[in-house]
Structure 1
Amino acid sequence: MLCRFRLPLSRVLARFRLLAALAAVVTASATPGAAQDFPRLKDTLPSITMTGEASVEVVPNIAIISLGVETERPNAADAASENAKATQAVVSDVKAQGVEPRDIRTLGVTLLPVYDETTDSNGRVVKRTLRGYQARNDLSITIRQIEKAGALAQQWIQKGANKFGGVDFDYDQKDAKYDALRGDAVRDALRKATSFTNGLGIRLGRVLEIATPGGPPRPFAATAMLARAAKSEAVAIPLEPGVQTLRVEAEVSWELAQ
């Protein structure tokens, strides 16, 4: 919890009028070009700053799956061609399952030489032999029917996706939740500030500044990293979204008044 009185409490009331008058003089004498050189209003007046917090737990309803198709062949052209065909087969099945094009995104396409290395007794590479070429296409697929995500991921592995990069979970109504949390966080800051000023015989005046010291949390990621996806058995990949905690902080500064 953040609480800052900009002046010592014992001197707040005595210096209130002096600082207010001084701030008025400074403002009146400032030139427009030098306005950025003057302190913020909350730094020139008796003030109190509090940080309010608010949070809520939500159940994710979106799964974002990362899949890849990797192909290795002796010839670069063959590796690229076969990888393109295998990737297209996966993408076609993704669309056939009702996933909209906007929810299918290519993360990267690569074609790299692959070498076999011979090392000496000290582990130093003494010989590199070209073995072939590796083509890879990585995809991100957003599934809005989260209960189907595990079965669909396994199905696409069966279709040729031999790399499984994991899964992230998200929630599609975060903006509305954050809007409500911002109001709750400001009210929490007001409650805390009032608890300090009530016992001092002073009251809160106008709001001088509202800031957000921390940004919104990143979506909770429950990532399962597999070096190569197993294709031996068509069993749905178990995916448990759990809950996300959405949290907002609001830092509010008030002028102290008599």
Structure 2
Amino acid sequence: MKKYAFLAALMAATAAGMAHAEERRITVDALGTALAVPDMATITLGVTHEDAEAADAMQATSDAVSAILARLEQMGIEARDVQTRDLSLSPVWSGRNNPNGDRPEISGFSASNRVFVRVRDLTQLGAVMDAVIQDGANDFGGLSFGVQDPKPLEAQARAKAVAEATAKAEQLAQAASLTLGPVQQINEHVGGIRPAAQMREFKVADSAGVPVAGGEISVSVNVTMEFAISE
């Protein structure tokens, strides 16, 4: 009797597995994008000095960076928005490509200090960049725009992606003469903040200083949705 019960349970499990394996589904991908005017910028700036003596090169660099940090504080940039990211001291070689085969020699030293600055008031951006240049910044590694709270943009992009994926699945089901069932699975990937493909002019520095245009930024969310097919 136990043998028959075991066989019946095995057959039922096999039938359920086959039914699950034969279940038909539609899988679609969709991308949703939300646009916004930036309300924040991040500047990567640096100071580099060379001198015959390592200590002198580092001192000149440190003095300039100290002046820059003091100026940023005067302009209302908070301490949480300023961060040192790279501090280096390296030899400067001479005679490395000497055709006579002479050994290269250290002719001096190069000291560098790189700082990231977040500017939350974009009307100050041009003036901030102009001020740090005057105070000794001689190396700019980049300028990027963003938003202080990206979550609302991500929510908009996510809603657009889900709506697009659902419409695409409905279109595929209709074209194949099928009835679309409920959602079985959703996966998403949130992209970073990027400049919009079609930028519009938006001046963020209308006071004296380096001219800067922020344009628009975009946040993208890609979703993969799996729908069942109703019988």
Same fold (TM > 0.5): yes
Counterpart among 60, 64, 81 of residue 42 in structure 2: 64
- Runs of 4+ in structure 1 deviating by more than 3 angstroms, as ranges, are 118-121, 124-127, 198-202, 217-221
How far apart are the structure 1 equivalents of 2:209 and 2:168? 49
- Quote the residue 1:220 is aligned against: 195
Q: Which runs of 5+ in 2 are unaligned?
A: 1-12, 197-207
How far apart are the structure 2 equivalents of 1:120 and 1:199? 73
One-letter identity of the residue aligned with 2:122: I
1:118 CA drift (Å): 5.8
One-letter identity of the residue aligned with 2:213: E
1:195 CA drift (Å): 2.0
Tell me, yes or no, if structure 1 residue 256 matches structure 2 residue 222.
no
How far apart are the structure 1 equivalents of 2:94 and 2:114? 24
1:135 CA drift (Å): 1.0
- Alignment TM-score, normalising by the size of structure 1: 0.72
One-letter identity of the residue aligned with 1:70: T
- Quote the residue 2:200 is aligned against: none
SS in 1 for 2:215: coil
SS in 1 for 2:77: coil
How far apart are the structure 1 equivalents of 2:144 and 2:96? 39
How far apart are the structure 1 equivalents of 2:123 and 2:15? 60
- Quote the residue 2:109 is aligned against: 133
Q: Is the 8 A contact 1:119 1:127 kept in 2?
A: no
How far apart are the structure 2 equivalents of 1:252 and 1:151? 47
Q: 1:172 to 1:118 in 2, by over 3 A?
A: closer
Task: Give CA deviations for 1:15-58 in whole Å, capped at 9, x if unaligned.
Answer: xxxxxx8573479xxxxxxxxxxxxx7x7520011223322221
Tell me, yes or no, if structure 1 residue 198 matches structure 2 residue 171.
no
Q: How many residues align?
A: 208
Counterpart among 215, 218, 221 of residue 245 in structure 1: 218
- Quote the residue 1:114 is aligned against: 92
- Quote the residue 1:6 is aligned against: none
Q: Percent identity?
A: 27
1:172 CA drift (Å): 2.0
SS in 1 for 2:171: helix
One-letter identity of the residue aligned with 2:35: E
Counterpart among 21, 24, 37 of residue 16 in structure 2: 24
Counterpart among 37, 46, 53 of residue 24 in structure 2: 46
1:210 CA drift (Å): 0.7
- Quote the residue 2:10 is aligned against: none
Q: Is the 8 A contact 2:36 2:216 kept in 1?
A: yes
One-letter identity of the residue aligned with 1:24: A
How far apart are the structure 2 equivalents of 1:23 and 1:144? 62
Counterpart among 86, 100, 104 of residue 82 in structure 2: 104
